[in-house]
Amino acid sequence: MLTQKSLHSTPVPQPAVRATIADVARAASVSKATVSRFLNHRDKLLTKAIATRVEVAIAALAYSPSPMAQALKRGRSRLIGLVVADVTNPFSVAVLRGAEKACQEAGYLLMLFNLGNDSRRECEAIEALTAYQVEGFILNTLGRDTKAAADAARHGKPVVLVDRRHHGMQADFVSLDNAGAVRLGLGHLMETGYRELLFVSEPVKDVSSREEREAAFLAFVSAAAKDTVALQGNTFESMVDDEQGLDDALRSLRERAGHGLCGVLTSNAVVTLRVVAAMARLGWRLGADMGLVGFDETEWAPYVGPGLSTIAQPTDELGRIAAGCLIERLKGLELPPRQILLSGRLVARGSSLPIAKP
């Protein structure tokens, strides 16, 4: 058992203090400028004796220069800022991974700023990342704050937009072909016999990807009606704190379908989980009581119920291309803003395949 005396006499480890260039200069009895010359491989300007003293001091102090400080001296930080609307959205995480790979391969580091779905923080994100001397921005934000777009342009740094457009911002844009992806999902539902459909999304206004998907849904339903296909469709905006509203929307969908098949197209993985949870509350089974196709292929999609049918986005490629476009701009490429749209892929599973009720 430790005594009071032994407790007091036990030495407390002190955190290691990182050596500075000034520490090296003092240990070698030279100026900081001399140490800087040595570190920048300009030791030809130094005598062999002085260079040796600096080298010994660096080794003794285990000194390593700050990569950031060195980069800033050269006028380059090799940092790229990525701003995402919601890091809990699997889409954002997957795009982040793709962008990070491309940045690493090109010798850049990625700095992440998560807005938490608060569009009011977009300007804050731009300013914070600018303070870290990022060389350019990849923005996957809500796109509602026009001032944020102006701030990015004011700093004179290249910007690439992913998934969501910013009104008034002239920048490279990389995204899924939303209209084509919606047609892919709805075509599958229609082919498997669903005739009463519902598009469920988070609030649509001023978020370009949601607006494009909703518009494509309504256009598909309208075109089907002209082709004499008995297809009906409605839209519903799901709020995070309104479970009752979503439950009621699904009940109404089934009532409209009568004895026919009804299906739901969800705008992203976040909404897909809300719909799955609502069906669990209502005691319904995927495929038997209601069909479902959701945007975004996730790791858990095959394991929910009979498996969730999804529209897989090429997220890794989206991230890689966005980072590649930005790095091209950083290297001096001067072209009008580019728009790059990639195709989605249907992954059909049990949630969109009608099955007989027991």
The tokens of 283 are what?
């005691």
The pLDDT-based confidence of 8 (bands split at 50, 70, 90) is: very low
- In this structure, are 288 and 230 located in the same domain? yes
Q: What pLDDT score does 10 carry?
A: 41
User: What's the CATH number where 159 sits?
Assistant: 3.40.50.2300
pLDDT mean across residues, the chain: 87
Torsions phi, psi for 297 (to 5 deg): -85, 125
Q: Is residue 110 part of a domain?
A: yes
Residue type, 14: Q
* Same domain flag for 182 and 309: yes
Rounded to whole angstroms, the maximal C-alpha distance in the chain is 93
Lowest mean pLDDT among 105-119, 149-163, 212-226, 313-327: 149-163
Quote the number of domains for the chain.
Answer: 3
Question: What does the pLDDT read at residue 66?
Answer: 64
Cα–Cα nearest to 355, from 290, 267, 279: 290
CA distances from 287 to 106, 135, 257, 293 (A): 46, 49, 14, 10
pLDDT band of 61, cuts 50, 70, 90: confident
Q: Is the CB of residue 201 less than 8 Å from the CB of residue 235?
A: yes
Whether 235 is in a domain gets the answer yes
pLDDT in tens, 215-229: 999 999 999 877 766
Beta bridge partner(s), residue 83: 113, 139
23 and 123 inside one domain: no
CATH assignment of the domain containing 56: 1.10.260.40
**pLDDT (0 to 100) of residue 68:** 56
pLDDT confidence bin for 14, thresholds 50/70/90: very low
The pLDDT value recorded for residue 180 is: 97
Residue 337 gets which letter from DSSP? P
For the residues of 68-96, what is the DSSP string, one character each?
Answer: HHHHHHTT---EEEEEES-TTSHHHHHHH
Question: Do 28 and 142 reside in the same domain of the chain?
Answer: no
Asked whether residue 70 is assigned to any structural domain, the reply reads: no
DSSP element (H, E) containing 222: helix 208-226
Domain boundaries, position 197: 178-313+345-352
Within this chain, do residues 325 and 256 fall inside the same structural domain, yes or no? Answer: no
The pLDDT value recorded for residue 69 is 58
Tokens of 268: 């992203």
Joined tokens for residue 219: 């256009």
Would 94 be classed as within a structural domain?
yes
Distance CA 37, CA 46 (A): 8
Q: Would you say residue 358 lies in a domain?
A: no
- Are residues 262 and 236 in contact, defined by beta-carbon separation less than 8 angstroms? no
Based on its alpha-carbon atoms, the radius of gyration of the chain, rounded to whole angstroms, reads 28
48-61 helix and 21-28 helix, angle to the nearest 10 degrees = 130
296 shares a domain with 191: yes
Closest CA to 213 of 177, 182, 234: 182
Same domain (yes/no): 298, 207 = yes
Residue 71 forms part of a structural domain: no
